[in-house]
Every structure is written in structure tokens, then in C-alpha cells.
Amino acid sequence: MLPRKMFLDDMFDSFLESETTKMKCDIYEVEGAYNLELDMPGFTKDDINIEYNKGTLTISAEKKEEKEDKEDKKYIRRERFYGKLSRSFYLGEIDEDAIKAEFKDGTLKVVAPKKDENISKKIINID
């Protein structure tokens, strides 16, 4: 006899769980740069795409399901994720040429230096 809870314990999880809960992140600032650390277990660096456009940094990832024709599996429960995830963060004006990213042990770390406000500042002389 199987316990009832085994089949119904997370019946509504897919309705309540959003994409953001699958990409947990910390954002902090150090020495004039935004640092983002995202937990992305199960992904490889080839699965991940990072884009910066008009002040918004978008991190997306896609994991495709591995199809095995050799085995006829009848799953009782499947919890591993397959599909696309995406998160966007508005960072404002940053030095897009200096953005760096590193992926190690299932954690993506992105460092986005802020633009030096003095560079874009122009002093106009009055005649």
C-alpha cells in the first residue's frame, strides 16, 4: 500500500511555483559594480545566455530533455526541469564592455561595473 501523500504532496506546486523560484539570486554592490549570483544547478555554461539592452540585463537558460529510445521508462515522478527560464534585472547605465560572467559549480556570477558618471558629464562654457 502506498501512502496517499506520496502522490498528492505537491500536486499544486506547478501552479504556485514561478520561474523566479527556479533561478534564485543574490544581488549586491562592491566597489562600484553590481554583482549577481544565480543558482543554476543542472545547467551547463552552453545552456546560458546573457544579454544587456537599454539598462536591462537578461539571463536566460534552456535545458532540453534527453530522449532515450532504448528504454521504455514509466515515470512515477519527474522533478528535474526541462525547458526555458529567464530573469531580467534593471541595472541602469553600466559599462557594457566591462561586464564579466563566470559559471562554476552550478552558480553563475555576473559582474556589471557602473558607468563612471564623470565621463558622460559635459561642461559647457558660456561665451
With vertex at residue 15, the alpha carbon angle to CA 9 and CA 21, rounded to the nearest 5 degrees, is 90
Q: What is the pTM of this model?
A: 0.69
Exposure string for 108-125, b = 16+ CB within 10 A, e = fewer? bebbbbbeeeeeeeeeee
When pLDDT is averaged across residues 16-23 and rounded to a whole number, the result is 56
Length of the chain: 127
- The CATH number given to 17-64+80-116 is 2.60.40.790
Q: What is the pLDDT of residues 20-76, one digit of tens each?
A: 457 899 999 999 999 999 999 888 999 999 999 999 999 999 988 776 666 677 878
Q: What is the mean pLDDT of the chain?
A: 80
Which distant-in-sequence residues (6+ apart) come within 8 Å of 50 by Cβ?
57, 58, 59, 99, 101, 110
